[in-house]
Structure 1
Amino acid sequence: METGNAVVSLPKFEPLKAHEMSCGHIQFRKLPVPAHRRKLLHKNWRRVYDLVHDVMKVDIRTKLTKPVQVQLKTKPDTPEIGHLQKCADFIHAILLGFEVEDAEALLRMDELYVDSFDIKDVKVLRGDHLSRAIGRLSGKNGRTKHAIENATKARIVIADTRIHIMGTFTCIKIARNCLCSLILGSPAPKVYSKLQQLASKIA
């Protein structure tokens, strides 16, 4: 930058560490672990620990006394305060039922997030009607769900009446529209045709 005839060099500031951004205070996150997800978390704990502790530089532990929790906290060498929230989103996705390999993308990409909704938010269904709607969402051997995932580049978890979608904003919007159409009773071939048109916007 020039001031008159003199050239003034701009100061260069190093990025603030996580503990500096929080005035030296340690930041925490606590995530309750549902009983039906404890075995899955235990099975993948080594991989989860390596990603959170070694890659993201965030401390992690499991509190086994009730309520069972995964606890996260920043360290002096945590590069950014945002790493804590990314790790919390990563653990939350695993607890929702996403594969560790899919949830790992939340640590590496800023534009991904998870959206959840209930079938009853779209249409009030009971008994056999609800069971048939869930069946339409999955399809035979999960074919419908996989077709939507492949076309939208999103990941979908169907947990009873709850549906969780992970992806970018556009991918989630398209996947959700297709799932809602199936819930409302649209036949799968019609949804496939519509999906092909919408998927071209992502490619």
Structure 2
Amino acid sequence: MTTTEIKITTARIPVLIGKGGKTKRDIEKKTGTTLAIDSEDGLVEIEGEDAIAVMRTTELVRAINRGFSPERAFTLFEDEDMILDIMDLSGVCTTPKQMERLRGRIIGKNGRAREQIEDMTGAILSVQGKTVAVIGMIDQVKNVRTAVEMLIEGLPHATVFSFLDRKKKEAKVDMLEYYY
């Protein structure tokens, strides 16, 4: 039996549990693990026979904690090569105003920049608090990380999107070469 504990923010506990405990039951059923959630201090204990299932479930809980909906977090289970990457922005922002501005650059007006990044990479993003979390394949996550770093440096959105477009085309060429 493998057991691990993870602390999450108390604000995300209702999301993890779900209406009438539905999300918690879904997680347990799909992963073969059991979750013990302490609503007061945000401690989640994950237990299971399979160590890998416990690790993957821990990543799922971390994803939900970083702002992903349970449905979007479950994409971690669509492919064994899917990963969760969390970028901490607190090191590059010294004031709350700077953090808000940076979050705004990553999200974009009405969420369009975030959507564009998702469409161009195939990864999914969540911008919450002082972090940007990404779920995707390793190459997708690497491209998103580079795009976010470019936005942090203050590069124009157009430059970032043309970088992502080039990466998308390179991936298509690589795929064609692989199949032929």
User: For 2:142 and 2:14, how far apart are their aligned partners in 1?
Assistant: 32
Change (3 A) 1:195 1:29: same
Code of the residue aligned with 2:159 in structure 1: it is: K
State the aligned residue count.
Answer: 171
2:70 is aligned, of 100, 107, 115, to 100
Give the aligned partner of residue 183 of structure 1.
152
Match of residue 57, structure 1, among 18, 28, 32: 32
Mapped partners of 1:170, 1:134: distance in 2:
23
Structure 1 residues without counterparts, runs of 5 or longer: 1-25
Does residue 71 of the first structure (1) align with residue 45 of the second (2)? yes
Bigger CA radius of gyration: 1
In structure 2, what is the Cα distance between the partners aligned to 1:120 and 1:51? Answer: 31
Moved more, 148-157 or 111-120: 111-120
Shift of 1:129: 4.0
Letter aligned with residue 110 of structure 1 = E
Q: 2 CA distance for matches of 1:71 and 1:173?
A: 30
Q: CA 1:132 to 1:51, structure 2 compared with 1: closer, same or farther past 3 Å?
A: closer
The answer for the alignment partner of 1:10 in structure 2 is: none
The answer to whether 1:48 aligns with 2:18 is no
**Does structure 1 conserve the Cα–Cα contact (< 8 Å) formed by 2:124 and 2:136?**
yes
Instruction: Decide whether the 8 Å contact of 1:153 with 1:167 is kept in 2.
Output: yes
Does residue 114 of structure 1 match 2:99? Answer: no
Residue in 2 that maps onto 1:140:
109
Aligned equivalents of 2:47 and 2:109: distance in 1? Answer: 43
1:166 Cα deviation (Å)?
Answer: 1.4
Deviations for 1:89-138, whole angstroms, at most 9, x for unmatched residues?
A: 111211111121221122342111111222244x4553544432221111
TM-score (norm 1): 0.74
CA distance in 2, matches of 1:72, 1:188: 40
Q: Name the TM-score, length of structure 2 as normaliser.
A: 0.83
Gaps of 5+ in 2: 173-180
Q: Distance in 1 between matches of 2:51 and 2:97?
A: 48
Pick from 96, 119, 122: which aligns with 1:150? 119
Q: Report the aligned-residue RMSD.
A: 2.1
Write the distance in 2 (CA, Å) between the matches of 1:120 and 1:68.
22
Label 1:37 to 1:127 Cα distance change in 2 as closer, same or farther (>3 A).
closer
C-alpha distance in structure 1 between counterparts of 2:129 and 2:147, whole Å: 18
- Look up the equivalent residue of 1:152 and give its one-letter code: T
Give the % identical residues. 20
Aligned to 1:198, which of 159, 167, 172? 167
Equivalent residue for 1:6?
none
